[in-house]
């Protein structure tokens, strides 16, 4: 592993190390997911890079989420070494990118971020997009051997469940999955 470096993301500088292996590929891992295939697919369909980062020292948790070096900065998908499966985290970010409007695909966290000035959509749009992301993620997960148990509930990260039009979210996820399925 390389020495700690400082990455710039979303205007913040955070100490990280950029030479880590995906948890799913680590020696002795029983995860069984297809992280390497997912990473190639994500880079091919988005044209964006993937960076696996490890937090140096006690950097994790010292700043609010929007200041953490995880998520998407408009150029790279950053996958942190916090709790959870790296395959799930990368697939989730790719689904966000796929669902975001073209204008928001270059914005940090697709214009949905919780940081000051980062959220460019209202809560209703953001909540429906988050649920659609999670439903699309569930449809894509089997292609990368990602167990359903490793994916969060579709509405875990919404402002208000009253905002969610479940039928419309499911229809949008199904439509996009249909368009992607042959290219997997």
Q: Which spans in 47-155 are helix H? A: 86-99, 123-140
Task: Write the CB contacts of 28 (distance below 8 Å, at least 6 apart in sequence).
Answer: none
Q: Which tokens belong to 167? A: 């039928």
Q: Give tens-digit pLDDT for 30-59.
A: 778 999 999 999 999 999 999 888 866 554
Query: pLDDT for 75-91, tens place per residue?
Result: 889 888 777 789 999 99
The mean pLDDT of 131-145, rounded to a whole number, is 97
Q: How far from each other are the two terminal CA atoms of the chain, in whole angstroms? A: 32
Q: Give the DSSP H or E segment for 179.
A: helix 166-181
Report the alpha-carbon distance of residue 133 to residue 99 in Å, rounded. Answer: 7
């Amino acid at each position: 592993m390389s020495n700690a470096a400082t990455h710039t993301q979303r205007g913040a500088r955070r100490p990280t190390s950029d030479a880590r292996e995906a948890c799913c590929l680590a020696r002795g891992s029983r995860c069984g997911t297809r992280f390497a295939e997912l990473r190639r697919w994500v880079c091919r369909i988005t044209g964006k890079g993937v960076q696996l980062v490890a937090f140096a020292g006690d950097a994790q948790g010292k700043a609010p989420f929007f200041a953490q070096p995880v998520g998407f900065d408009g150029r790279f998908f950053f996958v942190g070494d916090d709790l959870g499966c790296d395959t799930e985290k990368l697939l989730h970010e790719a689904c966000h990118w796929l669902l975001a409007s073209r204008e928001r695909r270059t914005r940090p966290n697709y214009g949905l971020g919780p940081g000051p000035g980062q959220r460019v959509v209202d809560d209703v749009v953001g909540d429906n997009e988050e649920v659609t992301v999670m439903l699309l993620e569930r449809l894509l997960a089997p292609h990368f051997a990602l167990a359903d148990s490793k994916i969060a509930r579709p509405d875990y990260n919404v402002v208000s469940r009253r905002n969610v039009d479940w039928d419309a979210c499911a229809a949008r996820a199904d439509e996009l999955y249909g368009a992607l399925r042959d290219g997997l």
